[in-house]
Structure 1
Amino acid sequence: MQTVILAAGEGTRMRPLTATRPKPMLPIGDRPLVAHTADAAVKAGASTLVLVVGYEGDQLRAYFGDEYAGVPVEYAVQERQRGTADAVRAAREALDDAPFVVLNGDDIYDADSLAELYDAAPAVGAHEVEDPRPYGVFDVTNGTVKTVVEKPEDPPSNRVNVGAYAFPAKAQEWLDVSESERGEREITDVLARVVAEREVRAVDVSFWLGVGRPWELLAANEWFLDGIDRRIEGDVDPAAELRGPVVVEEGATVDAGVVVEGPALIRSDATIGPNAYVRAKTVIGDGATIGHGVEVKNSVLMTGATAGHLSYVGDSVLGREVNFGAGTVVANLRHDDGTVRLRVKGEMTDTGRRKFGVVVGDGAKTGINTSLNAGVKLGADARTGPGETVTRDIDTEY
């Protein structure tokens, strides 16, 4: 079935990580976030992928090309980000007069559940959560969707909308919806029309992870690492110790005295050690460097990032070409044992995590012996001085 993947947004809640790339191109393990969505769609039965691009769209074009995993790829451009219905409307010319699936390009889905969604069209993906109030919630009777209610105080169920829709062909004519109160053209208004005129099945999605904020990016990488098997292709010194499911890709180097606890992924051309400690749930990106006496735990270091020596990085996300000066230490735990808060679009937001470190934009650099407080963000190309203690965000709009 033809499948539209929405990947045009800026991802402002991910800033500063999206200052130079679209959110769907942020790395989850060994490939971009949107590639996981595309992989699930292909496994579920997608016949064509139509990627709706906008912000930094050339990066998606360069990655996917004209074909992905044997499936043709087409592109539609959403010139202005005016909502999800507007994004699908931009893709309309690329669609045949046939049923079609719409997926969010920043969500991770279980492929088996999507296959059931494809077979059940018209249908929507529904996932059970403990607290549905922050989501769009389905009112379901005998497996059929009656209504969808946005962020209700009194939810009709605990089955929430995961942004996965199998629409009838007729829905292509219903995409010209009015703007909502927040000034966007919403795909849920299209869904309401489909529900009014068709019997729409609610398909249970057994696994779903929305990735909209930095700590959710960390959670997505944790999910990826939980599924890896041990694979050693790079150069590992005999005096290094790899424990459990560790992947060392071809071209990577693990020096003497290094301990790596799995699950962990060390990507091509990365260099680890000597005498470094890479703890579980860590992704070391292409060409990244972890030097002498550095400890890294439950973190993502993107392409070319460097923690050269005598530093600690915990529960953090470091962008491309970040450079931590010697002795840089990340705090990842509040003394009062409360959950760490992070500024998102100008508002302090609870990460829900007892342990969370820092978010660092591409090209940022710290001076030697810098201390970074839990929940701090450093913007792209930000700088700290030697011995600086950072308790507030630096050079970042968000």
Structure 2
Amino acid sequence: MKIILPVAGKGTRLRPHTHTKAKSLVHVAGKTVLEHIVERVLTVDAEELIFITDDNGSQIEEFMEQHFPGVNCSYIVQKERLGPAHAVALASPRISAGDEVLVVFNDTIFVTDLAKIPDLCADCDGLIYSKEVEDYQRFGVNVVKEGYIVDMVEKPDTPVSRLAQVGLYYLKDGQGFMDYLEKTIAAGDTVKGEFYLPAVFMRMIRDGIKFCAPEIQAWLDCGKPETLLETNRYLLSGNRVGCAGTIENTVIIEPVSIAAGATVRGSIIGPNVSVADGCHIEASIVKDSIINADCRVQSMTLAESILGDAVQLTGSPRRMNIGDHSLVIME
């Protein structure tokens, strides 16, 4: 199986954290988003990981060489921003007859068992993974009839379906899929100047190709600061990553992840806190936050915060003389 990972894009919704790094290299629950995704796709027999990158591609390549040195990877640069279907189509030279293809977009971390693909795809030609949502108006949804997808509707006004597409796709015939991508691009089938995958899949469905829409267990958005913190909470509660760093005179309120190279002294950490390698935290209270590598936090109270790499944040203790029946709110 060939795995296509489109990791291009500026990640504008995650700024300032994506000003200097690829959006898939932002940390959550003790690992980068990319690390979470790659660990999941490597549960299948992956012959090659094909990364579609932009000008941050060297960061992706360096990361993979460091963290997954034994994995066969290739890198293709998307020089024109022509949409997700165009990005996936750039992998065409790497896809041969007989190749299965799994496409994984990097704004979300999925929770599902990819080993079940052969069983899920026994009576169809591909899988467009889905998740039932209440706010269906925000997403492109799959309309299913008698077990197969018959239509796709972008941000429907009425609840024709609540099965949102989650950015995870499997195709039995990878080369055939590439042919349909080429046809869609040649036909100029765009939305606001960009090529999207639903147009490709609907062309395939009209030609009799059958897709199922299996539901994943969890769909974890990493595209915005607030959703990144939600994902951090979810992953920490599920994995109990634990504290490997130097911990002195500190109260830990689980779940917490503290990397081996971090030091925490005289603080209260947790719940739902990730502290990366090289950090030093002292005399601070931190909860519901992500602290990236090489940060120094001194005498601070942090909640629902994200610190990028090598941030220095220093506060000061407060001296107060407060009388009876007082109410003090400090935000």
Q: Are the aligned partners of 1:285 and 1:304 in contact in 2 as well (CA < 8 Å)?
A: yes
Relative distance call for 1:319 and 1:66 in structure 2 (3 A) is closer
Structure 2, unaligned runs of 5 or more: 319-329
Alignment partners' CA distance in 2, 1:116 and 1:75: 28
| Cα offsets for 1:91-117 (capped at 9, x unmatched) | 1112222331111122111241x3334
Relative distance call for 1:69 and 1:132 in structure 2 (3 A) is farther
In the alignment, structure 1 residue 279 sits paired with structure 2 residue 309: no
Give 1:116-265 correspondences, 5 Å limit: 116-117=116-117, 120=121, 121-167=125-171, 168=173, 169-176=175-182, 177=185, 178=188, 180-197=190-207, 198-229=209-240, 247-249=242-244, 252-255=245-248, 257-265=249-257
Structure 2 match to 1:105: 106
Q: Are the aligned partners of 1:117 and 1:125 in contact in 2 as well (CA < 8 Å)?
A: no
Q: Which amino acid letter does the alignment assign opposite residue 254 of structure 2?
A: G
Shift of 1:69: 7.8
In the alignment, structure 1 residue 324 sits paired with structure 2 residue 329: no
Which of the pair has the greater relative contact order for Cα pairs under 8 Å at 6+ separation?
A: 2
Shift of 1:163: 1.1
Structure 1 match to 2:25: 25
Shift of 1:142: 1.6
Q: Which amino acid letter does the alignment assign opposite residue 136 of structure 1?
A: G
Shift of 1:285: 1.2
Relative distance call for 1:118 and 1:26 in structure 2 (3 A) is farther
What is the SS of the residue equivalent to 1:296?
strand
Alignment partners' CA distance in 2, 1:128 and 1:45: 28
Structure 2 match to 1:393: none
Shift of 1:210: 2.4
In the alignment, structure 1 residue 96 sits paired with structure 2 residue 96: yes
What is the SS of the residue equivalent to 2:192?
coil
Of Structure 1 and Structure 2, which has the larger fraction of its residues in helix?
2
Alignment partners' CA distance in 1, 2:116 and 2:79: 33
Relative distance call for 1:11 and 1:131 in structure 2 (3 A) is same
| Cα offsets for 1:264-308 (capped at 9, x unmatched) | 0111221111x211121001111111112x100110010111211
| Cα offsets for 1:178-224 (capped at 9, x unmatched) | 25232211122111122222011112212221221111111121122
Q: Name the TM-score, length of structure 1 as normaliser.
A: 0.73
Q: Which amino acid letter does the alignment assign opposite residue 184 of structure 1?
A: E
Structure 2 match to 1:302: 292
Q: Which amino acid letter does the alignment assign opposite residue 102 of structure 1?
A: V
Q: Which amino acid letter does the alignment assign opposite residue 3 of structure 2?
A: T
Structure 2 match to 1:267: 259
Alignment partners' CA distance in 2, 1:299 and 1:67: 24
Q: Are the aligned partners of 1:5 and 1:50 in contact in 2 as well (CA < 8 Å)?
A: yes
Q: Are the aligned partners of 1:27 and 1:302 in contact in 2 as well (CA < 8 Å)?
A: yes
| Cα offsets for 1:64-89 (capped at 9, x unmatched) | 12994854222121113321111111
Q: Which amino acid letter does the alignment assign opposite residue 105 of structure 1?
A: N
Relative distance call for 1:69 and 1:57 in structure 2 (3 A) is closer
Give 1:369-388 correspondences, 5 Å limit: none
What is the SS of the residue equivalent to 2:89?
helix
What is the SS of the residue equivalent to 1:52?
strand
Q: Are the aligned partners of 2:55 and 2:77 in contact in 1 as well (CA < 8 Å)?
A: no
Alignment partners' CA distance in 1, 2:39 and 2:112: 8
Structure 1, unaligned runs of 5 or more: 231-246, 330-370, 374-398
What is the SS of the residue equivalent to 1:182?
coil
